[in-house]
Amino acid sequence: ETQTSPLIAPGAFSGSGTVESHFIHSSHVSGRDVHVWLPERYGDCSERFAVVYFADGNNCFSRNGVSWEVDAALEKLMVSRLAPRTIAVGIPNAGKDRFREYCPQAVYEGLPEAWKAKLLESMCYVNGAPISNDYLRFVVEEVKPFIDAKYRTKSDVDNTFHVG
């Protein structure tokens, strides 16, 4: 369902275009809103767009704190013809599970047991071991297919990017 996110007030982003938010349910990690920036005139054409996905996407467009101003940067790159027409998707982190989702799971699993125990004692992993493989499944199996079905995307590998 398309909605305005409580993190992003209408008109509260730096560039032109629009930001839509969708709650994505997940069987791999906690579900969450994802924020989709559509360039100005997206709705006026039938063209397909490249897609860039941003981890820590709660910082892409929000004016409530730090903003990467992704919309303004992409807009400048597209106007200068340094980037193809692109949609930006901000995937917010999971808050208390942020480190668990982003820490490379294979690296953790290859550590000696004593090191694993030490990491689990740290504040970053208070909720358990890394679950980055599950996060990647969320992005690849749930978020990307939703975005490709909902928007006019170029879904091939040459037009799909991930930042973060």
What percent of the chain has pLDDT above 70? 88
Cβ contact 51:161 at 8 Å: yes
**Span 122-146, pLDDT tens digits:** 867 778 899 999 999 999 999 999 9
Taking phi over 0 as left and psi of -120 to 50 as alpha, with beta for the rest, 135 belongs to alpha
Length of the chain: 164
> pTM for the full model?
0.86
User: pLDDT at position 144, please?
Assistant: 98
Q: The tokens of 42 are what? A: 């997206």
